[in-house]
Amino acid sequence: MTRLHLTESDPAPSKALFGVAGVWLGAMVPKRWAKRAVTRSTIKRQIFEIGAAFESKLPQAAHLIRLRGAFDRTRYKSATSDDLKAAVRLELQQLFAEAVTP
């Protein structure tokens, strides 16, 4: 999971894409990286749960969290194993902590 970094040279949009203010959070977990639907659902639930904890600290914008690599299926046998959930939570907490730091 990664965070897109915009630099000073990137053109800023002149008009907001959405008319609604607030923090929007989206999750994208492609079949390419999580073959089973139960795994994708588990990861999305973790994204929204951790995201809710950080929502008050995030800037008002639309945030999309996208899974960019697979979790090792030999290490995490079950799609809902506590080990997989802990690994996803740890990575998400690091990602959101980086997102809220100026």
Q: What is the pLDDT along the chain (102 residues), one digit of tens a residue?
A: 555 555 555 555 556 565 667 888 999 999 998 888 999 999 999 999 999 999 999 888 888 999 988 888 788 888 888 999 999 999 999 999 998 886
**Residue 61 confidence (pLDDT):** 82
Record the tokens describing residue 10, joined without a space: 């990137």
pLDDT at 71: 81
Name the DSSP letter for residue 56. Answer: G
pLDDT value for 96: 92
Q: Which long-range contacts (CB under 8 A, 24 or more apart) does 43-49 make?
A: 43/67, 43/88, 46/85, 46/88, 46/89, 46/92, 47/88, 47/92
Q: Record the pTM.
A: 0.76
* Alpha-carbon 13 to chain mean position: 23
Tokens of 36: 């089973």
